[in-house]
Amino acid sequence: MSEPDFTALQQRMLAEIAAQTIYASVQLGKAALNRRVMDVLATVPRHEFVPLELRPFAYANTPLPIGFGKTISQPFIVAVMTDLLDVQPTDTVLEIGTGLGYQSAILARLAQRVYSIELIEQLAAQARHRLARQGYANVEVSIGNGCGGWPEHAPFDKVIVTAAPELIPPSLIYQLKPGGKMVIPAGLPDAQQLILVEKDASGSVSTKEIFAVLFSMLEDSEPD
């Protein structure tokens, strides 16, 4: 497919995200996502972050397999999670679950620095390659168990998790700055909710369920 073909498909994806946002406006509390988020979704080439054989489907509003039993999330879910995170240009963001790097690229355009952890070494290697090829120099990818976060670079302004633990890992809450936000799917496989976690200036934590989701499970548990 040619670049003009991808551009047309990307515009259709944005229209579908906008329509689905209106449909979910009660749960989201608004009928449109932040313009900065939509503008970034319009510029990051999603087809560069899917397996080659799936590039024609890169802008379909559906999850796509990326190997190793993992998927790249549905564009609408990427958009909503990014919007809920409210990333600012000065933010340092922790991402758990790099995949092939699409969400990392979105965050890289919105934040000052992104630290991303991927459990599967082959996916992490591909993500580094794809991000470097697109010129994203403010993303660092590490291989490991995301449940423990990344203490060396903590605390973080924002945390985003793209796989679902049954319970929110305490390490990730601990590594969130006062005034920070985390977006994470959590719950049993058949009862997951997308959750917005907020830590106020005093360090008190509150959670809000947004809507039901279905993510692959966050592998391994909180380290001992």
Q: Please, where are the H alpha helices in the chain?
A: 3-23, 25-28, 35-41, 75-85, 102-110, 121-133, 170-174
| SS3 category, 7 | helix
Angstrom distance (rounded) from CA 135 to CA 109 = 11
Residues 6+ apart with CB under 8 A from 41: 13, 14, 17, 75, 78, 79, 106
**130 Cβ contact partners less than 8 Å away, ≥ 6 residues apart:** 48, 49, 100, 101
Q: Annotated catalytic, 221?
A: no
| Catalytic choice (2, 25, 73, 204) | 73
Which DSSP symbol is given to 151?
G
Q: How far apart are CA 169 and CA 2, in angstroms?
A: 43
CB 179 within 8 A of CB 126: no
Residue with tokens 């564009």: 75
> Catalytic amino acids?
73
